[in-house]
Structure 1
Amino acid sequence: MFDTFLRKEELNQRKQLQCSDCRRATIHTLEAQCVGETKEDVGHGDTVYGGVEFSLYRCGACDAVCFEQSSWFSEDWDHDEEGNVILNRTEVQYPPPSSADFAFDTDYTPSDLDELIDEMIYALAGSKLKLATVALRMVVEFIVTDKNCAGGNLEKKINDLQAKGHVDQEQLDLLHTIRKKGNAGAHERIAMNRKEMVAGVSIINLLLEKLYNGPARQAAVIKKAKQAFKVADKQ
C-alpha cells in the first residue's frame, strides 16, 4: 500500500518510446501521470523508500496511446558515468513494444521458448541492450538443450548442434559469437549494439525455421495431403 498517491497536474514531458503501432521509436507526449510512494523506518534513524510512476503517453506520429509503469527502490542503486549515485528503475510498457526489425515466427516453438523470446524482444525494443544481450544467449542455450545437444557447457552443445547437421560452419561461428558476447553481457555488463542484436536475431530465426517451424509445417502439409488423397480414393 502506498503512503502517498498523487496525480501530477502540470505535464510537459516528451519521451522517445517504441510505438507498437508504428513499430519504431517515436516521440511520445506525456498525457497523464500518477505517482505512488512508500517510506519505512527500519530503525537506527534509517529509512528506505520506493515508488511507482504510472504514465500515459501518446505517440506523436500516429496518436496511439501506451501505458508505462516505472518503479524504483532506495536500496537498488548504481552509479552513472560521472560517479553520481542513481536509483535503478524498472520500466514496463503496455502494449509491449514491437518492431519490424526483430519479428519472430513462433508458430510451432515451445511455449517456454516463446516466453524467453518475448522477454528478449521487449528488452531490445526498450533499448535495454544489456538485458537483451544476455537473453539472446539464453535463447541459444534453450535451443541446444531442448534439442538434446551433448556437452558440459554451451560451447560444446553448440558444436554438437553442428555435429547433428543442424547448422553449417558459418552459422556455427556466429552462434559462438553470440555465446561470447552473451558471456560478456552477463559477466562484464558489455552489451551488443542494436545492429549486432538484430543480426543475432536473424540467426535465431534460421534456427527456429530449421528446428521447429519448418518440420512442423511440413508434417502438417503431408498429413493434410494424405487425408485428402485418402478421401479421394474412397470416392
Structure 2
Amino acid sequence: MTEDTKIKAECLDCKRQTNHQVIATKLHAPFSPHEYHDGKEYSIIQCLGCDQFSFLKTYHDYEARYAIDWEQDEFDHVRIYTNFYPDASEVLNKYRISLPENLYTIYEETKVAFTQNLDIFTAIGIRSIIEGICKDKKVTGRDLEKKISNLKNLGDISKRDVDLLHSLRFLGNDAVHALIKPERNDIIVAFNIIEHLIQAIYLMPKELKRTNFKIHLDEYSKFEEFIMEMIRNHISFDFSYNYSIKKLISPRGKIPYDKFGEFEQKLNSRIKSGELDWIEITQNENQSDSIQNNNETFYKINKVP
C-alpha cells in the first residue's frame, strides 16, 4: 500500500468496518528462492468516519494467488488484515467516565482481547462483564443464571435481552470450563450484545440527561425520584414558591394522563405519613398566578432531599 490509499478496516471507535486512509506504511518482506514468498506490512491508518488513528498489520501471501481477470491475465494475492491499537484507552473514554471503575477495567481488557482476536479470553471477559453488572446493580440470585433472569427487574432491558444474555453465559461457560474457542462471528455478535447492554444501563441514561428530551414518567418511583433530582440540580430553586405537580416536573417531565391522579394521591399519602420530610402540602399563594385551579394540589419544598 502507498500513502493516501483508501482501504476497509475495523474501527474500534465506530465499532464496525469503515473506510480508512493510509497515513504511512512499511513493508517487511524478506525473500529468497528457498523461502515461502510472503511478507508483513505495517501501516498507520485513520478512520474517515471518526478520525481515529490505528495501527494495521497486513499479511501478504504472495503465493496464494487468484485471478481478477482471466482474459487480461490479471491476478492478485491473499491479504489478511489485523488491527492493533497501541492505546485503546483514548477511544474508550466515554466508557471510562460512565462505568464503575472495576467494571470498566473488565470491559477495557475484554475489548482489547476482542480486537486482538483472542476469542476464548473475550468470551470469558463477556461473562465477567455480565457478573460485574449484576454486582454493581445489586442483582441477587444463587448463581449467574438466576441473576441474569433478575436483571429484567432493573427496567433497562427487555426479556429478549435477558434471553440473549443467557446465550452469552453459555458461551462464557464453554470458554471457562471446557476451553472451547467460539466461532469468530459468534464472538462479534456476543460483543455487540454486551455493548448494547452497557449502553442501555450506563451510557444512554447519562446521555439522555444532556438533552432536552422530555422524560416519560410512567411509574411512581420514577416520578418521585425525578422530582428529587430536579430539586437537587436546580441551584436557583425557589423554596418560598408553591408548586403544582406540573410545575415540579416542568419542563422535562411528562406524566401519562391516566397516571396523574394515582401519582398525586400516592405523593400526598407519603407526605401525610411523614415518609417525605422535604416537601409539604400547602395552599397556592403565588401572587403571579392569575388563574387557579381549585382542584389542584400545591406543594412547598422544605429542603433539598
Into which bin does the TM-score normalised by the smaller protein fall? 0.5 to 0.7
Measure the CA separation in 1 of the matches of 2:164 and 2:120. 19
Question: 2:141: which partner in 1?
Answer: 151
What is the CA RMSD across the aligned residues, in angstroms?
4.3
1:182 corresponds to which of 172, 179, 195: 172
Name stretches of at least 5 consecutive residues in structure 1 with no aligned partner. Answer: 1-17, 32-56, 67-92, 231-235
Change (3 A) 1:96 1:193: farther
Normalising by structure 1, report the TM-score.
Answer: 0.54
Counterpart of 2:160 in structure 1: which amino acid?
E
1:97, 1:126 within 8 Å by CA — same for their partners in 2? no
Counterpart of 1:127 in structure 2: which amino acid?
N
Counterpart of 1:59 in structure 2: which amino acid?
Y
The structure, 1 or 2, with the larger RCO (C-alpha pairs under 8 Å, 6+ apart) is 1
Quote the offset at 1:184 in angstroms: 0.3
Measure the CA separation in 1 of the matches of 2:11 and 2:149. 39
2:54, 2:85 within 8 Å by CA — same for their partners in 1? no
Pair 1:95-2:93 in alignment = no
Pair 1:213-2:213 in alignment = no
1:69-108 correspondence to structure 2 within 5 Å:
95-96=86-87, 105-106=94-95, 107-108=97-98
Measure the CA separation in 2 of the matches of 1:189 and 1:147. 29
Quote the offset at 1:144 in angstroms: 1.1
User: Radius of gyration: which is bigger?
Assistant: 2
Pair 1:110-2:110 in alignment = no
Superposed CA offset, 1:40-86 (max 9, x none):
xxxxxxxxxxxxxxxxx9624749896xxxxxxxxxxxxxxxxxxxx
- Give SS of 1:138's match: helix
Name stretches of at least 5 consecutive residues in structure 2 with no aligned partner. Answer: 1-9, 30-39, 47-52, 56-83, 212-228, 238-305
1:130, 1:192 within 8 Å by CA — same for their partners in 2? yes
Measure the CA separation in 2 of the matches of 1:28 and 1:182. 38
Quote the offset at 1:163 in angstroms: 3.2
Quote the offset at 1:158 in angstroms: 0.3
Sequence identity (%): 25
2:119, 2:182 within 8 Å by CA — same for their partners in 1? yes
Counterpart of 2:132 in structure 1: which amino acid?
F
Question: 1:125: which partner in 2?
Answer: 115
1:159, 1:172 within 8 Å by CA — same for their partners in 2? yes
1:19, 1:59 within 8 Å by CA — same for their partners in 2? no
1:58, 1:65 within 8 Å by CA — same for their partners in 2? no
Superposed CA offset, 1:157-205 (max 9, x none):
0011013333222111110000011000001111222222221222222
Quote the offset at 1:206 in angstroms: 2.2
Measure the CA separation in 1 of the matches of 2:201 and 2:171. 23
Quote the offset at 1:19 in angstroms: 9.0
1:1-235 correspondence to structure 2 within 5 Å:
29=27, 59-60=42-43, 62=45, 95-96=86-87, 105-106=94-95, 107-219=97-209, 227=234
Change (3 A) 1:97 1:229: closer
Counterpart of 2:164 in structure 1: which amino acid?
L
Measure the CA separation in 2 of the matches of 1:62 and 1:130. 28
Change (3 A) 1:212 1:19: closer
1:108, 1:213 within 8 Å by CA — same for their partners in 2? yes
Measure the CA separation in 2 of the matches of 1:196 and 1:205. 14
Change (3 A) 1:199 1:104: farther
Change (3 A) 1:219 1:177: same
- Give SS of 2:127's match: helix
Measure the CA separation in 2 of the matches of 1:196 and 1:131. 14
Counterpart of 1:95 in structure 2: which amino acid?
P
2:171, 2:182 within 8 Å by CA — same for their partners in 1? yes
Change (3 A) 1:177 1:28: farther
Structure 1, 198-207 or 114-123: larger mean CA deviation: 198-207
